[in-house]
Amino acid sequence: EELAEALSKAKAAVEAAGESWESAPGTTSADASGSHRRPSASDEVPGGATNPPPQTDVAPAAGRQDDAEAQQASAVEGSEGDTQQVYDGVPLVKEATELKERANAFVKREKHQEAVKLYEKGLEVLKRSEGHPMLREEFEQVKALRAVLHCNIAQCMLSLELYRRAIDAATSCLELDKENTKALHRRSRAYESLREWEDALRDLLALKKLGGGGIDPKKLEKRCEELYEKQIAENKAVNEMAKNNEDLFVMKERFEEVLEKYDLGDGHAAPLVTRWLLEDDDIEQTIDKVAKQWEMSREEAGHFAKWIKKGLDMGVIPKPAQGPLPPGAVSRPS
């Protein structure tokens, strides 16, 4: 009885001091006010950790809240009984959604520019939540709506044939939602319109991996094959161009070697050979003339004449005006 009386007095003393009575050591029960005590050594769990106090699911954000927006914030209880101001995202989501619906109505009427303005205004509304902590659920709602608005802008830009801006909008959507199938499809179409086959195919393959986003599997497969064939054809053309450029580089080197060896950079040799090429219309006959004129091997004459003919064919070397031949030049080989 004495022990029970002592415990009763101790309990009364603790409660009078504003503390909750712990019926057994090691518990983390809350008092009537809902606050939680600081973890103590008795709360240790295996591995040296402590039982953490309950946390409110708040998405943290950097930045300060303006006084004008304080009315849209509410207090929630965080760790150790402290409170934290969180931004109320519900009104923003509601306002931006209304703008989206108005924009969608413009899209149905094919007024894409007007729709884009409203979608962008919706993004500006949602941007007001940046820099403020929000409840996790509302944060995700804002994020999802931002992705939808960017994706819808991408569709409008496609319709307006503004393909680079369509790509930018779709990319902004995918940064928020990397598995957004509509954004992948729209960006792929924009890349294809710009003849950027490789990027278009990459997005289409990613779309296929995600299940196609409602596109008929056969149509999706066919489009992948078409883009692949276009990419292969383009790569082949690029390789051929590189090879041709390599051949031109070699031709130029050989021409310059002959030019330097026989000191033909006086401005008379090239116009003369150009005239012969135009008169003869036979590269072999011109090569014979070059070899005789400057007493060089026929191989060297071929390097010199072929480079000049390439310049004529490409329009780089102008056709010479009619006039007397340079001193020492022969019009026909004897």
Instruction: State the distance between the two ends of the chain, measured CA to CA, in whole angstroms.
Output: 143
* Three-state DSSP state, 59: strand
- Residue 74 sits at φ, ψ, to 5 deg, of -130, 155
For residue 242, the model assigns a pLDDT of 65
Alpha-carbon gap, residue 173 to 156, rounded angstroms = 14
For residue 128, the model assigns a pLDDT of 92
For residue 204, the model assigns a pLDDT of 92
The tens digit of pLDDT for each residue in 265-321 reads 777 888 889 889 988 878 999 999 999 999 999 999 999 999 898 888 877 777 665
For residue 161, the model assigns a pLDDT of 95
Q: Which stretches does DSSP call E strand in 107-177?
A: 134-135
Q: Check pLDDT > 80 for residue 14.
A: no
β-bridge pairing 73-77 and 58-59: unpaired
Mean of pLDDT over the chain: 77
The tens digit of pLDDT for each residue in 40-58 reads 333 333 333 334 444 446 6
Min mean pLDDT across 126-130, 174-178, 327-331 is at 327-331
For residue 154, the model assigns a pLDDT of 97
For residue 42, the model assigns a pLDDT of 34
Band (pLDDT 50/70/90 cuts) for residue 246 is: confident
Alpha-carbon gap, residue 256 to 205, rounded angstroms = 49
Measured N-to-C along each axis, helices 90-108 and 136-159 cross at an angle, to the nearest 10 degrees, of 20
SS3 per-residue string spanning 194-230: CCCHHHHHHHHHHHHHCCCCCCCHHHHHHHHHHHHHH
Q: Check pLDDT > 70 for residue 95.
A: yes
Strand partners, 52: none
Q: Which stretches does DSSP call E strand in the chain?
A: 58-59, 73-77, 83-87, 134-135
The tens digit of pLDDT for each residue in 271-285 reads 889 889 988 878 999
For residue 2, the model assigns a pLDDT of 59
For residue 143, the model assigns a pLDDT of 95
For residue 322, the model assigns a pLDDT of 53
Query: What predicted TM-score, i.e. pTM, was given to this entire model?
Result: 0.53
For residue 268, the model assigns a pLDDT of 81
For residue 86, the model assigns a pLDDT of 82
For residue 329, the model assigns a pLDDT of 46
Q: Check pLDDT > 90 for residue 1.
A: no
Length of the chain: 334
Per cent of the chain over pLDDT 90 is 44
Residue 14 in tokens: 């603790």
For residue 187, the model assigns a pLDDT of 96
Q: How far is CA 161 from the centre of its chain?
A: 19
Cβ count near 151 (within 10 Å): 25
For residue 332, the model assigns a pLDDT of 39
